Chains A and B, each alone.
Chain A
């Protein structure tokens, strides 16, 4: 009986087993918590950024007040709630398809109707073909403009297309 009792007590004790299991559980739990926390943090940052961009886009508005061909000026103003960066301006024949263009920071238009901004044809604005024309302008909210990511600027820009 004594021999049998000794055989029974051989191996890891119950307490140690519980401790090991608990430790593993806590370690895995912390790992999951960390992973989930990291994912949640990244998602939150992405979510906030996306929301900011969507809101900035909602607040963007640009109008072409007048195109003075004689003096070669496109007059624009910003009735929206956020300052805008003009990325492209092109005047092309109404009947043709939009020509390729470059996107770069051309001018800044403040969000105020107290001022009207000139875009010089031949400098900020390209003129292609013959009349009747249409003017097409790309602009992005200055709060989300990223000069190192042109593609994202185009993605979040607003388009203004108006017959001249």
Chain B
């Protein structure tokens, strides 16, 4: 029995070495390997995700604000978070901003298939030149945009191969004209609309549209309503058609003389040695040939007179009214005069009086053209005054 003591002791020590040293070392090695393997897997997954990132970056312009925007489209299968955008001056190969990248306050996170837009106007300020944007993701990928040409921070429209010239002739003063050029198919046009407010009568304007080959509808609107003229809207084919003319058919405004119309009694009976008053209406008419309304703004009462024997005429007083508008063919009262006559002759005698409206007594301005309108010649009308026997006196 005692022979095996040292063998037992040796065996115990071997076991002790095994359990206290070798096995823990093996466990430690396995654990380290597992940790390393785990980290390697983690890195491999990260690298796989990183390589799987796919982001389409396109520079565009907001149609309303005309500010530069970046359209981001996540085409890949993994979530993409944008952390930074660089605005690069391509010609100089430098960052447009002095302080480095253009940082985004709220960086977008894009799930697979999602789109997002970033307003980058503040990144380029009023830069002129070729710019390219670099988008940096959280996983460290860099995606570049297309290169675009900017002028004062705004996109320069594409140079179109064809030009469509459009003329609007004989516009109406004060009216707003809108031209719409719509592609009917695959053509493109810039600008698509043109707006102009006519500041003078019969004004003409010509504008050029950049177009590509294709079919287009060209429409002219007057004050928001489709102008009622021939061939509007018009269908044109580019490059077969290069010019479109919309003639609004208005003639040139010309001043016409105002016409004077008298409303007076032909004959007035006045008792001998007595006075009689009667009304003389003076009206003004705008001839039908006039091309525009006229605002009557001056009636000179001093240029309205009466001629006749001094023993008959006592007084002519006129009340004028102005500031009204006459349409072509319309008439209106310009002055209401009261003529007082005296029965200064013998009964049965007749006297002729003449009411005269001198040249330029009534003036106005064309509503659209502001041309001067007035009565060009002196007009008159006769009135016969007959003396009749005076009123018998009261019985004595």
Q: Which A residues are closer than 8 A to B by beta carbons?
A: 14-15, 18, 21-22, 24-26, 28-30, 32-33, 36-37, 40, 43-44, 47-48, 51, 54-55, 58-59, 61, 63, 65-71, 73, 75, 77, 79, 113-114, 116, 118
B352 to chain A, nearest CB (A): 100
Which residues in A have their C-beta under 8 angstroms from that of B375?
A: none
Q: Are the CB atoms of A21 and B6 closer together than 8 Å? A: yes
Which 10 residue pairs spanning A and B have beta carbons closest together?
Answer: A29-B13, A79-B140, A70-B94, A25-B6, A51-B32, A40-B21, A21-B6, A63-B140, A22-B6, A40-B25
Q: Can you name 5 A-B residue pairings with CB atoms under 8 Å? A: A25-B7, A32-B13, A36-B17, A36-B21, A58-B43
With the chains together, A51 CA to B36 CA distance in Å? 7
B165 to chain A, nearest CB (A): 43
Interface string of B82-94 (1 = CB under 8 A from A): 0110101000111
Which residues in A have their C-beta under 8 angstroms from that of B257?
A: none
Q: A43 and B25 in contact (CB under 8 A), knowing A58-B39, A69-B93, A71-B94? A: yes
Q: Are the CB atoms of B35 and A55 closer together than 8 Å? A: yes
Q: Are the CB atoms of A69 and B94 closer together than 8 Å? A: yes
Q: Are the CB atoms of B36 and A18 closer together than 8 Å? A: no
Q: Are the CB atoms of B22 and A40 closer together than 8 Å? A: yes
Which residues in A have their C-beta under 8 angstroms from that of B7?
A: 25
B276 lies within 8 A of chain A by Cβ: no
Q: Are the CB atoms of B9 and A29 closer together than 8 Å? A: yes
Q: Are the CB atoms of B83 and A114 closer together than 8 Å? A: yes
A161 to chain B, nearest CB (A): 15
Q: A37 and B21 in contact (CB under 8 A), knowing A18-B2, A51-B36, A75-B101? A: yes
Which secondary structure dominates chain A's binding surface? helix
A14's contact among B2, B43, B142, by CB below 8 Å, is which? B2
Interface string of B13-35 (1 = CB under 8 A from A): 11011001110110011001101
Number of contacts between A and B (CB, 8 Å)?
A: 118
B251 lies within 8 A of chain A by Cβ: no
- Nearest CB to that of B26 among chain A residues? A40
With the chains together, A120 CA to B24 CA distance in Å? 50
Which residues in A have their C-beta under 8 angstroms from that of B32?
A: 47-48, 51
B139 lies within 8 A of chain A by Cβ: yes
- Nearest CB to that of B12 among chain A residues? A29
B40 lies within 8 A of chain A by Cβ: yes
With the chains together, A25 CA to B5 CA distance in Å? 10
With the chains together, A47 CA to B30 CA distance in Å? 11
Q: Are the CB atoms of B36 and A113 closer together than 8 Å? A: no
With the chains together, A75 CA to B101 CA distance in Å? 9
- Nearest CB to that of A80 among chain B residues? B140
Which residues in A have their C-beta under 8 angstroms from that of B33?
A: 51
With the chains together, A30 CA to B16 CA distance in Å? 10
A144 to chain B, nearest CB (A): 14
Which residues in B have their C-beta under 8 angstroms from that of A18?
A: 2-3, 5-6
B260 to chain A, nearest CB (A): 82
Q: Are the CB atoms of B100 and A44 closer together than 8 Å? A: no
With the chains together, A145 CA to B134 CA distance in Å? 32
Q: Are the CB atoms of B16 and A47 closer together than 8 Å? A: no
Interface residues of B in 158-213 (CB under 8 A from A): none
Q: Are the CB atoms of A37 and B86 closer together than 8 Å? A: no
- Nearest CB to that of A114 among chain B residues? B83
Q: Are the CB atoms of A22 and B5 closer together than 8 Å? A: yes
Q: A47 and B28 in contact (CB under 8 A), knowing A58-B40, A113-B83? A: yes
B103 to chain A, nearest CB (A): 9
A25 to chain B, nearest CB (A): 4
B123 to chain A, nearest CB (A): 14
Which residues in B have their C-beta under 8 angstroms from that of A32?
A: 13, 17
With the chains together, A118 CA to B86 CA distance in Å? 14
B20 to chain A, nearest CB (A): 7
Q: Are the CB atoms of A63 and B142 closer together than 8 Å? A: yes
